[in-house]
């Protein structure tokens, strides 16, 4: 069930029910949630799997009707609220504490929790014993790991939402420091208009290839021609225990990773010998890592192959899908948690 305004659809055997678009954050959180509940009740599904925190009220209403409901914890929302640039620090702390209490109350009443990382799983196990981590790893078949290395450009890519906390300012400042003649390709949209205006005045801006939003086929093409992939997010609290999807997609595409020196990410990258980790706040360190791979394509290729092997062996959606299906089957075989008044 979505709220994209594209109408009901059926794609790859999946029925998509659309409740329509309501503009604005407040409208999405209040009126859209009400529409989702009404449509969900009419669907009379076996299991309701909620993927957005604003849908928790709809989940609670479904529980009152005796339905089986799962909450999907994509991120640690209370910690994420503390990093929102548009919130005053005091307001962020109050909201984080309030949401944390509400989340504990609601999730203890659901039938299970699906967490996006082992770290989030461990936090939710204290709230609900029926919690499992299902990591958003890529499908190995989705990416072209066999792209001819001789066809690679002097290019590294950043794929994803573009924001200050995601390191875009440091990437632009790294460009004038490059000695290899490499360029950075940006596949994603700015989430902060004032930041884009600020970066336009920097020397590296004109040497940044900006593609804007790119579909999945476009993402594959960008990675296929790139020598390495960038995921130099700042060490903000909500990133320290996150598993960035793009890092694993770079690995699936057979290109080395240039990642932030965050302990969890460093462990993955270095143990699999699939890239390098740098200080994401240091443009010179980022530029040096880019130059290293561009000037040493044999090393880049070997590390890219190591990353691809790690995806095939471990970090892939095929393994995670089995966990999710087993979770559903277990839930189907058990009685729902008691409805409450």
Return the pLDDT at 280. Answer: 97
Query: Considering its fold, how many domains does the chain have in total?
Result: 2
Task: Assess whether pLDDT exceeds 60 at residue 85.
Answer: yes
Q: Name the band, by pLDDT with cuts 50, 70 and 90, for residue 339.
A: low
Write the DSSP symbol of residue 338: P
Supply 91's token pair.
């307001």
325 and 202 part of one domain: no
161 & 279 share domain: yes
Do residues 162 and 282 share a domain? yes
pLDDT value at position 187?
A: 96
Answer whether residue 65 is part of any domain: yes
* pLDDT averaged over every residue in the chain: 91
Instruction: Specify if 339 maps to a domain.
Output: no
pLDDT on residue 95: 83
pLDDT, tens digit (0-9, with 9 covering 90-100), for 14-69: 999 999 998 877 777 778 999 999 999 999 999 999 999 999 999 999 999 999 99
Examine the domain organization and report whether 188 and 114 are in the same domain.
no
Residues 162 and 306 in one domain: yes
Residue 340's pLDDT is 57
Residues in the chain: 341
Least confident of 128-132, 204-208, 296-300, 308-312: 204-208
Cα distances (angstroms) measured from residue 104 to each of 25, 64, 124, 143: 23, 17, 8, 38
Using alpha carbons, select from 234, 206, 237, 211 the residue that is nearest to residue 222: 211
For residues 169-173, give the mean pLDDT. Answer: 96
Claim to verify: residue 168 and residue 200 sit in the same structural domain? yes
Q: Are 152 and 225 in contact (CB under 8 A)?
A: yes
Instruction: Provide mean pLDDT across the span 163-172.
Output: 94
At 59, list the tokens: 């989940």
pLDDT digits (tens, 9 = 90+) for 102-112: 999 999 999 99
Beta bridge partners of 50: 71
- What is the model's pLDDT at position 336? 63
Q: Mean per-residue pLDDT for 204-221?
A: 92
What pLDDT digit, counting tens, does each position of 228-271 carry? 999 999 998 878 888 999 999 999 999 999 999 999 999 999 99
CATH of the domain at 118: 3.40.50.2000
Q: Give the Cα separation of 168 and 166 in Å (integer).
A: 6
Q: Say if residue 205 is in the same domain as residue 298.
A: yes
**E-assigned strand segments in the chain:** 9-11, 14-16, 48-50, 69-73, 112-115, 131-133, 155-159, 183-187, 208-210, 228-231, 257-260, 275-278
Say if 210 falls within a structural domain: yes
299 inside domain: yes
pLDDT above 70: percentage of residues in the chain: 97
Tokens 């409208």 map to which residue?
A: 27
Q: Which of 1-15, 37-51, 84-98 has the lowest mean pLDDT?
A: 84-98
The boundaries of the domain holding residue 252 are: 140-313
Give the list of residues 6+ apart from residue 264 with CB closer than 8 angstroms, or none. 119, 240, 241, 242, 243
Q: 160 and 213 share a domain?
A: yes
Q: Is residue 21 part of a domain?
A: no
pLDDT digits (tens, 9 = 90+) for 116-133: 999 899 999 999 999 999
**Residue 6 located in a structural domain:** no
How is 128-157 classified by DSSP, letter by letter?
Answer: -SSEEE---PPPGGGS-TT--GGG--SEEE
Pair (270, 126) in one structural domain: no
Determine the pLDDT at residue 29: 72
* 240 vs 301: which has the higher pLDDT: 301
Tell whether 116 and 144 lie within a shared domain. Answer: no
3-state secondary structure 220-233: HHHHHHCCEEEECC
Looking at residue 202, its pLDDT comes to 93
Is residue 98 in a domain?
A: yes
CA atoms within 13 A on the CB side of 298: 0
Instruction: Tell whether the model's pLDDT for residue 185 goes beyond 70.
Output: yes
Same domain flag for 60 and 163: no
Pair (148, 93) in one structural domain: no
Question: What predicted TM-score, i.e. pTM, was given to this entire model?
Answer: 0.85
pLDDT at position 130: 95
Q: Tell me the mean pLDDT in the region 178-186.
A: 95
Confidence (pLDDT) at 146: 79
């Amino acid at each position: 069930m979505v709220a994209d305004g594209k109408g009901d659809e059926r794609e790859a055997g999946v029925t998509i029910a659309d409740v329509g678009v309501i503009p604005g954050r407040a409208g999405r959180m209040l009126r859209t949630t009400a529409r989702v509940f009404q449509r969900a009740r009419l669907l009379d599904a076996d299991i309701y799997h909620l993927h957005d925190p604003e849908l928790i009220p709809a989940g609670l209403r479904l529980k009152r009707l005796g339905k089986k409901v799962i909450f999907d914890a994509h991120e640690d929302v209370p910690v994420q609220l503390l990093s929102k640039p548009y919130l005053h620090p005091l307001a962020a702390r109050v909201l984080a504490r309030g949401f944390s209490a509400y989340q504990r109350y609601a999730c203890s009443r659901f039938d299970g929790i699906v967490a996006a990382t082992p770290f989030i799983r461990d936090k939710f196990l204290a709230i609900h014993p029926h919690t499992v981590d299902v990591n958003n790893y890529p499908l190995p078949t989705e990416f072209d790991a066999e792209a001819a290395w001789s066809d690679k450009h002097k290019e590294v890519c950043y794929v994803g939402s573009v924001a200050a906390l995601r390191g875009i300012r440091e990437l632009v400042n790294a460009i004038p420091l490059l000695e290899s003649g490499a360029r950075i390709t940006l596949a994603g949209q700015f989430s902060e208009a004032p930041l884009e205006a600020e970066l336009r005045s920097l020397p590296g801006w004109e040497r940044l290839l900006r593609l804007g939003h790119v579909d999945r086929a476009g993402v594959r093409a960008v990675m296929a021609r790139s020598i390495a992939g960038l995921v130099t997010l700042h060490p903000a609290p909500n990133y320290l225990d996150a598993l960035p999807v793009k890092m694993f997609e770079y690995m699936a595409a057979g290109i080395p990773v240039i990642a932030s020196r965050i302990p969890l990410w460093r462990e993955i990258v270095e143990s699999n010998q699939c890239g390098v980790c740098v200080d994401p706040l240091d443009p010179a360190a980022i530029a040096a890592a880019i130059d290293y791979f561009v000037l040493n394509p044999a090393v880049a290729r070997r590390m890219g192959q190591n990353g691809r092997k790690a995806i095939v062996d471990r970090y892939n959606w095929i393994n995670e899908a089995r966990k999710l299906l087993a979770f559903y089957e277990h839930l189907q075989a058990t009685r729902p948690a008691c409805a409450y008044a």
